Amino acid sequence: MAFYSPLPMTMTRSDASISLAARLQAVGRGDRAALAEVYNSTSPKLMGVCLRILGERSEAEDVLQETYVTVWRRAGTFDPAKASAITWLVAVARNKALDRIRSGKVRRASTPLEDAGEIVDPARSALDEVEGADDRRALIGCLEELDDDQKWSIRTAFFDGVTYEELAARRGVPLGTMKSWVRRGLMKLRGCLEQ
């Protein structure tokens, strides 16, 4: 079985994104080696997402395993024209973690978003491996270009694991408005990052 090795220093963000997307599409065709590569290159980041939402390492590990089972089964639905591979994978992990909370099997983590940086995953993050410091700066810069409602909604939804319903209640806006803020914000982010 082939395993992921760090990307060459000459590989750009778009090269890394294309490579991950290609591996994810290979998973959709039943390529087990590609699944191992996707797992090795993204599991630290997805573990961080699960851990921030669930707050318990054992629960996060269980949800991470469920995430990759879902990736194996549903990778054929991944469409690189709609989202980047890492965005699709994070969405799968986030949804699995939220499903675990909704099932009542675990209580929601009480750690506020501001403290999420304090939760340490000993493995080097996939973001560091795949995208590097320039990409983080690009994402931060693109987030800053969003209006305040979109920026808050996206950060809270994706980094704190808050559902659309909870976001709408916190801001006191209709659910449709909240979904529109997030959707438009994500479209602007994608356009900005593709420049």
Q: Over the stretch 138-170, which tens digit does the pLDDT of each residue have?
A: 777 888 888 888 888 888 887 777 788 888 998
Confidence at residue 131, expressed as pLDDT on a 0 to 100 scale: 46
- In terms of C-beta density within 10 A (0-12 exposed, 13-18 middle, 19 or more buried), how is residue 56 classed? middle
Q: By the 8 A CB rule, do 124 and 44 touch?
A: yes
Q: Over the stretch 12-37, which tens digit does the pLDDT of each residue have?
A: 444 455 688 899 999 999 999 999 99
What sections of the chain are H helices per DSSP?
Answer: 13-28, 32-54, 57-74, 85-102, 126, 132-144, 148-160, 164-171, 175-193
Q: Over the stretch 70-129, which tens digit does the pLDDT of each residue have?
A: 999 999 998 888 888 888 999 999 999 988 888 876 655 455 544 444 444 445 444 444
**d(Cα 120, Cα 68) in Å, to the nearest integer?**
21
Q: By the 8 A CB rule, do 112 and 155 touch?
A: no
Q: How confident is the model at residue 65 (pLDDT cuts 50, 70, 90)?
A: very high
Nearest one of 117, 121, 98 to 47, comparing CA atoms? 121
Q: Which two tokens stand for residue 70?
A: 């879902």
**d(Cα 38, Cα 31) in Å, to the nearest integer?**
11
Q: How far is CA 60 from the centre of its chain?
A: 14
- In terms of C-beta density within 10 A (0-12 exposed, 13-18 middle, 19 or more buried), how is residue 144 classed? exposed
Cα angle 76, 77, 83; round to 5: 120
Residue whose tokens read 């009480």: 110
pTM higher than 0.75, yes or no?
no
What is the average pLDDT value for the chain, to the nearest integer?
Answer: 78
Structural domains in the chain? 13-131 (1.10.1740.10), 145-195 (1.10.10.10)
| Number of other residues whose CB lies within 10 A of the CB of residue 111 | 15
